[in-house]
Chains A and B, each alone.
Chain A
Amino acid sequence: MADIFKPEKGTQVLDAVKWAVSNKASLEIIGQGTKRGLGRAVEAKAVLDMSNISGITLYEPEELVMTARAGTPLTEVQAALDDANQMLAFEPWSPKSIYGAEGGTVGGMFAANVSGPRRILAGAARDHMLGFKAVSGRGEDFKSGGRVVKNVTGFDLTKLMAGSMGTLGVMTEVSFKVLPKPEKSRTVLLFGASSETKAMIAAQSSPYEVSGYAHLPRSMAERSSVDYVKNAGQDVTAFRIEGPAPSVTVRCEALRKLLAPLGESVEELHTTNSQALWAEIRDVSYFTPEKQIWRLSVTPSEGPEIAKSLNGEYVLDWAGGLIWLALDPSDDAEVDKVRGAMQSGHATCMRAADAVRAKIDVFQPQDTALAALTKRVRAGFDPHGIFNPGRV
């Protein structure tokens, strides 16, 4: 068993990394380890458990900003935001359905750039992360960004840290933007769309500011907990409308009119049902535990056709730009078929047994020049490759 360091303050994180650097020992960085199934399993000399570097250090609701230590549980962040009627607008998914573990930490959420359905309107985790403090693989403290939204002061290392999967540095503190919860949330459902591609394009080309576009083929819709969706008996395409009450009413009505000719019928979900449906979509709760899961980010208008061509179970989010694909287990997760189906974009194997993930490129391989550049960027932060070796 690897040693587990569990630092309680930032200086101890620095000590642990300095030790690792000087001993050429590798470290697996974890928050609560809820997303360990993402990327390859890491074999490191020691585990750096950040869960005790915890606590919200600044929350100014009227400034729409929060700063929290990296190990702060998301439940704590969520509770504080709920109290002030605010939210993380990028709608991070819970690792529950995919990895079976609940929770997660602030550091882990940003390191994995976890973003949900509202990403299409409000941006991803990376768009909301404002600044951070971290320890590099050189054993040095460094920071970038700040606590304000507008900032062009030096290179934007903040974006780089978001989604870096712990391969550049150990984040100790993160500042991020928070937003008021919408007053009201409703969802227009289109049943039996004659072309979900056309329906989603029509809604996107409308001025109604749809904050979520998803498509559930009939067999997936039947697994929903929302009766209107479950009992539809056909494919369901969902469009979420949020905002001040009078605006939501008007936009829903207009959207229903726009969509009605594009399928069999339309329905509307009210706040409670609407929230339940988008939580399911966000957390990808439709697939059974034995399935291998892929996440494909593609050109939105091509999503539906790509998804169909892959002969698996799937759900579309981001107006077709995000395909959640579930395949029967195989020893290579059908990697060639999956990546072969896309012209551009990227596919990530989100869930498969350790042995399968060890065998394949979990993340999309890059062309030579880009791969070389990525390698040089990493080396600038972690020259000895001590952080999460092998994970990406």
Chain B
Amino acid sequence: MKMPKPDQDIIARRSEIIRRLQAIVPGDGVITNENELSVFECDGLMAYKQLPMVVVLPESTQQVSNILKACQDMGVKIVPRGAGTGLSGGALPLADGVTLGLSKFNKILDIDLDNRCAVVQPGVTNQAVTNAVMDDNFYYAPDPSSKIACTIGGNVAENAGGMHCLKYGLTTNNLLGVEMVLMDGDVIRLGGKHLDAGGLDLLGAITGSEGLLGIITEVTVRILKKPQTARAMLVGFDTVAAGGNCVAKIISSGIVPGAMEMMDKVAIDAMQRFVDSGYPLDVEALLVVELDGPEAEVDYLVERIEQISKDVGSTFLRVSQTEQEREQFWKGRMSAFPSIGRISPDYLTMDGTIPRHRLPDVLTRMNELSEQFGLRVANVFHAGDGNLHPLILYDANVPGDLDKAEEFGSEILKLCVEVGGVLSGEHGIGVEKRDLMGEMFTEDDMKQQQRLKCAFDTSGLLNPGKVYPTLHRCAELGHMHVHGGKLPFPDIPRY
């Protein structure tokens, strides 16, 4: 993975840059010493590390604006950073760039139960939003497994999902407004407590933009009333195809469960051994299905899913009878990462989406690839929405293993695109999948996307080297390749 070549002129001006930043953010907000900088050297994609030139931790929108203005002035690159849990290297520092951390933006500004929303600073963790409204029986629905650590700002930047996104939507569907600072220092507000921002849906466009369009400094999210009850079911199958079939039948019968997760044998074994979650060890595929809502609804849907499961030939079926048991069923799935960490020194977390019905094919092909590369793979899926998380097991101490694992990962993602899916469902492109963008998009498609970046960040200084394999200058992107002479009237049916 190649990052843009560090600009030696900028690096040579480091102390001047530090002075300018210190003038904006006094005290301990500017981090320059190597020991402290090393905390920021990577995000959740730990295979890639780079010390940032400087880290700055502003605490007000005005400071963010001043920092961006100053950096634009000096031609210095900026890498925004939340909690650094991102899995695609979006917050990977640049040797000639300033990492701008939002950790001091950690306040909950307004809880408005009447309008079912919360206004928070971007450095507040996902879980903290729910905690702040829990006593009133509200919660924030998107629930990435990293919710204890990851920030709302990072969630917006990655359009984070989670187990309950099947029914309640991704970040983009639960976001009402943001305040954000552009690279030139302009502060803009999009949306608010009302629905649908007026004008172009820039709020939608910045969600999932991986820190390339602006620094988010305030976020308004929808909060929801907690469902009255929830029950979880474990459904096991002899074959993965039968599990996939069950998922399809549930969805097509009109049921949208609160969550519907699936895992394959390698994953089931690893999880059950890590923590007793009641998972059977003699099945090839296991579904965890959660139904939530009023008791009458939950009971009714549980019955219907029991019937569907039997019809498609499930070999194991358990329904949680108590809240404690429901939590137990989730324990394994919630600790997917540490469980896999227990059985393999290293693993790569992949994240592609496919049309649900292609699941059996994709798994078969994935197993073939696993043999071909000689690396094991464990699979967990957000089955309801076709989002796959193959975990490729490797050992970084074995020379060549990481390269092999990455190549394997690329093949899986290409496969996702081939069957009509996409490269990333929720972890983003970052640097990890950057060079695969051409699998999905033509050069023109990507240029059009980058023109959006130019509108937000003309200088191209915000998080460069991420998402797009080729960096184009904005002037070049603005150039029109249209015929010098006028085209004749086209031959199209006319009236």
Contacts and interface: CB of A to CB of B under 8 A. Distances in A.
Interface of A: 3-8, 12, 15-16, 18-19, 21-23, 49, 52, 60-65, 85, 113, 115, 119-120, 123-124, 126-127, 136, 138-144, 146-160, 162-164, 168, 179-181, 183, 201, 204-209, 243-244, 246-247, 249-251, 254, 297-301, 318, 321-322, 344-346, 348, 363-364, 366-367, 369-370, 372-374, 376-381, 383, 392
A195 to B, nearest CB: 12
B194 A152 contact: no
A168 B448 CA distance: 11
Contacts of A3: 494
A369 B186 contact: yes
B170 A301 contact: no
Interface stretch (B68-76, B124-132, B426-434): B426-434
Interface stretch (B7-15, B334-342, B369-377, B380-388): B380-388
Interface in B155-170: 158-159, 161, 165, 169-170
Given A154-B437, A376-B454, A381-B451, A299 B182 contact: no
Residue among B205, B492, B493 having the largest count of chain A Cβ atoms under 10 Å: B492
Interface string B471-492: 0000001101011011111111
B252 A61 contact: yes
Given A149-B385, A298-B194, A209 B437 contact: no
Given A64-B251, A348-B198, A380-B448, 4 more contacts: A153-B440, A300-B115, A364-B198, A380-B478
A148 B166 CA distance: 12
Contacts of B488: 19
B318 interface: no
A159 B205 contact: yes
A244 B492 contact: no
B198 A22 contact: no
B333 to A, nearest CB: 17
A247 B229 CA distance: 12
A201 B114 contact: yes
Interface string B110-121: 001111100000
B492 A5 contact: yes
Contacts, number: 318
Contacts of B422: 146, 148, 150-151, 153
B487 A22 contact: yes
Contacts of B491: 15
Contacts of A60: 355, 357
B308 interface: no
B104 interface: no
Interface string B427-464: 11100010001001110111011011111101000000
B490 A297 contact: no
A81 to B, nearest CB: 13
Contacts of A142: 442, 444-445, 448
A374 B451 contact: no
B199 interface: yes
A19 B489 contact: yes
Grouping DSSP codes into helix (H, G, I), strand (E, B) and loop, the B interface class, with mixed when no group exceeds half, is loop
A111 to B, nearest CB: 11
Given A153-B429, A345-B194, A370-B189, A7 B493 contact: yes
B423 interface: yes
A169 to B, nearest CB: 9
B188 interface: yes
B205 A160 contact: yes
Given A7-B492, A157-B448, A380-B455, A299 B480 contact: no
Contact of A244 (B182, B202, B297, B483): B297
Interface of B: 112-116, 137, 158-159, 161, 165, 169-170, 172-173, 182, 186-190, 192-205, 207-210, 212-213, 225-228, 248, 251-254, 256, 293-297, 299-301, 353-357, 382, 385-387, 420-429, 433, 437, 440-442, 444-446, 448-449, 451-456, 458, 467-468, 477-478, 480, 482-483, 485-495
A62 B227 contact: no
Contacts of B354: 148
A156 B207 contact: yes
Contact of B487 (A23, A140, A156, A321): A23
A18 B493 contact: no
Residue among A143, A318, A363, A377 having the largest count of chain B Cβ atoms under 10 Å: A377
A149 B161 CA distance: 11
A148 B228 contact: no
B301 to A, nearest CB: 7
A243 B357 contact: no
A250 B482 contact: no
Top 5 closest pairs, chain A to chain B, by CB? A159-B204, A346-B198, A247-B297, A180-B254, A380-B451
Contacts of A65: 355
Residue among A136, A208, A300, A322 having the largest count of chain B Cβ atoms under 10 Å: A300
Residue among B248, B253, B297, B449 having the largest count of chain A Cβ atoms under 10 Å: B297
B448 A140 contact: yes
A6 B493 contact: yes
30 contacts: A5-B490, A5-B493, A60-B355, A62-B357, A63-B248, A64-B251, A65-B355, A113-B201, A138-B480, A141-B444, A148-B386, A151-B425, A152-B425, A152-B427, A154-B468, A160-B201, A201-B114, A204-B225, A206-B225, A207-B227, A246-B296, A298-B194, A345-B194, A346-B197, A348-B198, A364-B198, A373-B188, A376-B456, A377-B205, A377-B456
Contacts of B253: 180
B199 A366 contact: yes
A256 to B, nearest CB: 14
Contact of B490 (A15, A254, A301): A15
A165 B428 CA distance: 28
B330 to A, nearest CB: 20
Nearest to B430: A152
A22 B200 CA distance: 26
Given A163-B196, A247-B293, A345-B192, A150 B455 contact: no
B424 A152 contact: yes
Given A140-B444, A346-B198, A377-B200, A23 B296 contact: no
A366 B480 contact: no
Residue among A4, A155, A345 having the largest count of chain B Cβ atoms under 10 Å: A155
Contacts of A251: 294, 297
Contacts of B485: 22
A365 B41 CA distance: 43
Contacts of A163: 196, 200-201
Contacts of B204: 126, 156, 158-160, 162
Contact of B456 (A146, A318, A345, A373): A373
Residue among B197, B209, B226, B456 having the largest count of chain A Cβ atoms under 10 Å: B197
A208 B137 CA distance: 13
A346 B253 CA distance: 39
A152 B452 contact: no
A115 B195 CA distance: 11
Given A123-B169, A152-B424, A154-B429, A208 B202 contact: no
A344 B451 contact: no
Contact of B172 (A140, A156, A206): A156
A324 to B, nearest CB: 14
Given A301-B114, A381-B451, A155 B297 contact: no
A392 B444 CA distance: 27
B294 A208 contact: yes
Contact of B195 (A12, A120, A138): A120
A235 to B, nearest CB: 20
Contacts of A162: 201, 204
